[in-house]
Structure 1
Amino acid sequence: MKQKVVIRVSMNDSKSRSKALKIAVGVCGVETAALKGEEKDQIEVTGEDIDAVELTTLLRKGIGFSELVSVGPVEKKEEKPAEPTVYAWPYVYGGSAYQTHYQTYPIPIYQYQEPSCSIM
């Protein structure tokens, strides 16, 4: 069962935030981890069968004060079915119709796609 765990951690600088995220991602079953809250002092972790007590204990050992705020199931959002990506290979031919002594070769034009990784 997918679940969402929110933990409040005392983090003052970016070094402690990155260390807390590394600890959170290292726990078995964690799929995503993100900073939440007005002061970015909460870590929201989602995944499959996460041991919230173990995660809180590891954060206490590595960072400092940690408090378990909530544990619950992940709310499912209704998503639209993704439109299939069509890969069209438009060809640009070199030369013109009047210059028949040149060999023409198709040149494929590639389209840039966003990386699918949510962390980057």
Structure 2
Amino acid sequence: MKQKIVIKVTVSGPKSRSKSLQIAVGFSGVESAGLGGQDKSQIEVVGDGVDAVELTNCLRKKVGYAEIVSVAAVGEKKEEKKPEAVAQPVLWSVYGGGVPQTYIHPIPPPNYYQDPSCPIM
């Protein structure tokens, strides 16, 4: 089940913001992480099976004060499948006669001849 977790973190500058984002992205199950809020002090994490409490505790240890603002399930949108247009191959004729010309380059077989005087083989 996908969930969206919003965690408020005290940030003193861009270095602590990037550090907190690196910590959030490093957790298993995290699909995306970004900054939110007016002063960019909230981290919004979207993922499957992410432990919000463990993530918050890790942010507290490595960055500073952190608290969980919200945890909500993200509903997956079901899109209608539209019939895809099948692409027709375009055949270009080489000489303009309407018949496509193809050339297949022959690949020579490998030479496995072993010289009897070679001490390595």
Q: TM-score, normalised by structure 2?
A: 0.63
Q: TM-score, normalised by structure 1?
A: 0.64
Percentage identity across aligned positions?
53
Shift of 1:75: 3.4
Aligned residue pairs: how many?
100
Moved over 2 A (4+): 75-88
Q: Which residue is 2:75 aligned to? A: 75
**Is 1:3–2:3 an aligned residue pair?**
yes
Q: Which residues in structure 2 correspond to 1:21-60 (within 5 Å)? A: 21-60=21-60
Structure 2: which 5+ residue stretches go unaligned? 91-121
Structure 1: which 5+ residue stretches go unaligned? 91-120
| Higher radius of gyration, 1 or 2 | 2
User: CA–CA distance in 2 between the matches of 1:72 and 1:82?
Assistant: 30
User: CA–CA distance in 2 between the matches of 1:2 and 1:10?
Assistant: 26
Q: Which residue is 2:63 aligned to? A: 63
Decide which structure has greater strand share: 1
Q: What is the alpha-carbon root mean square deviation over aligned residues? A: 2.8
